[in-house]
Amino acid sequence: MLAAPQLDLPQLAVHMNRSEDAVRAALDELIDLSLITFGGDGGGLRTVGPTIGLASLIARAEAEVADKQRQLEATRTAVMSLAAAHEQNRDREHVTKWEGVEAVRGRLEELTLATTVECVSLNPNTAQKPEGKKASRPLNQQMLERGVAIRAIYQDSHRHNPVLQDYATWMTDLGGEIRTAPTLPMLMIVYDRRVAVLPIDPFDSSKGAQEVHAPGIVAAVYGLFAQIWSTATPLGHTPRRDDAGLAPQLRELARLLAAGSTDEMAARKMGVSARTIKRKSAELMDLLDARSRFQAGVVAAQRGWYRHHRDVHPPR
C-alpha cells in the first residue's frame, strides 16, 4: 500500500498473488494496529506514515507492558492481602459449596423461605432447563405471595421461546418483573442483597453451586445485576434502538466481532444459531460499508457505537 497507494482491494490481491479474503484479513489487522486508516469524505483506506504509525505501535506496546506490570503489582498486593485476611479469619466460612442439582435445589428452597425483601437473578440460555423452571415455580410463587420482589433477566434470544413466554406471563401476573439482554455472563441469584448463589462451573450449572455470604462479593454481584437491569428491555416491549439506530443485539454483535469472536463464539454467547449471526453480521457490514466482520466491529467502535467496558456502579 505504501509503494502503490492507487491499488484497490482486488488489485492488491492480484499484485500480491493472494486471495481477497486474505488481503481483507491483513487490512483488518493493519487497521487494528493503526497503520492504515479511512480517508476523509468517504475515501478509501490510506496508509499512515511508517514513522508515525510504528512509533505509535511501539508506544502502545510499551504502555501495555507498563500496564501489565502495574496489574502484576496490584495482583501481588491483593494476594498478600487475601492471604493475611485468610489467616485472620480462617474460622469464618463465607463460601459453601453445594454439589449436584438436587443439593442446590434443596438449598434454594431454604433460601427462598428466608428471603423477605428481594430476589434477583441472571438466567443465560445455557442454564435454562425445563425441569429447572418446573422446580422454581413454587419457590417463586411463595416469595411473590409474601410480597418479596422478584426481578429476573433472560437473553433476548429467548423472547420467542414459548416456554419462557408462558413462564413470564405467569410470573408477571403474580407481580414479578422480567427483562432481557443480548448476552449474560453467567447464572446467578442474589437473595436480599446478602446471599449470592453462583455456579461452581459457569459453563455447566449441573455441577453445583457456591453460596457466598462475603459482603464485598455479594455487593459486586448485585452491582453487576443492577447495571445489566438498567439497560435490559422489559419482556413485552420491543428492544429500543440507540442513537445510532442499532438494536441491542446488533450493538452487542459489533462489540463481539471487534473483540475477535468468530461466528460460532458470538452465536454461543448470544444464544442464537450461527446462521442468525451470519445474517446479522452481513446486515452490520452493509450498514457500516465494511469489507469484513472484524472491520465492521472496528468501525462501530470508532464511531462510538458501544463502549469497550461497562461501568458497574454499586447498588443504592
Give the Cα separation of 22 and 20 in Å (integer). 5
The type of residue at 88 is Q
Is 183:252 a contact under the CB 8 Å cutoff? yes
Q: Which three cell numbers stand for residue 163?
A: 416456554
pLDDT of residue 39: 66
**Residues 6-9: contacts with CB under 8 Å, at least 24 apart:** 8/44, 9/291
278 by Cβ neighbours in 10 Å (0-12 / 13-18 / 19+) ranks as middle
pLDDT of residue 203: 79
CATH 1.10.10.10 fits 248-303, yes or no: yes
Is 209:152 a contact under the CB 8 Å cutoff? no
Residue 197 pairs with which residues in a beta bridge? 189, 211
* pLDDT in 10s for each residue of the chain, 316 residues: 888 878 888 888 999 999 999 998 998 888 877 788 876 555 577 787 767 767 777 887 888 888 888 888 888 788 877 766 655 554 355 788 999 888 999 999 999 999 999 999 998 876 666 677 777 889 999 999 999 999 999 888 777 777 778 888 888 889 999 998 888 888 999 999 999 999 998 878 888 999 999 989 999 999 999 989 988 888 876 666 655 566 777 777 777 777 777 777 877 777 777 787 788 778 777 777 777 777 777 777 777 665 543 433 333 3
The domain limits of the chain are 9-48, 94-234, 248-303
pLDDT of residue 311: 37
pTM comes to: 0.55
Give the Cα separation of 250 and 287 in Å (integer). 11
pLDDT of residue 307: 52
Triad 129, 131, 137: Cα angle to 5°:
105
Per residue in 232-257, pLDDT tens?
A: 888 876 666 655 566 777 777 777 77
Give the Cα separation of 292 and 298 in Å (integer). 10
Among 49, 42, 6, 12, smallest CA distance to 27 is for: 12
Helices of type H across the chain = 9-16, 20-32, 50-88, 101-114, 130-145, 162-173, 215-231, 248-258, 263-270, 274-288, 293-302
Q: How far is CA 64 from CA 55, 57, 151, in A?
A: 14, 11, 40
Q: What's the first-to-final CA gap in the chain, in angstroms?
A: 54
pLDDT of residue 309: 39
Is 315:226 a contact under the CB 8 Å cutoff? yes
**Residues 50-55: contacts with CB under 8 Å, at least 24 apart:** 50/2
* CATH fold label, 94-234: Endonuclease; Chain A (3.30.870)
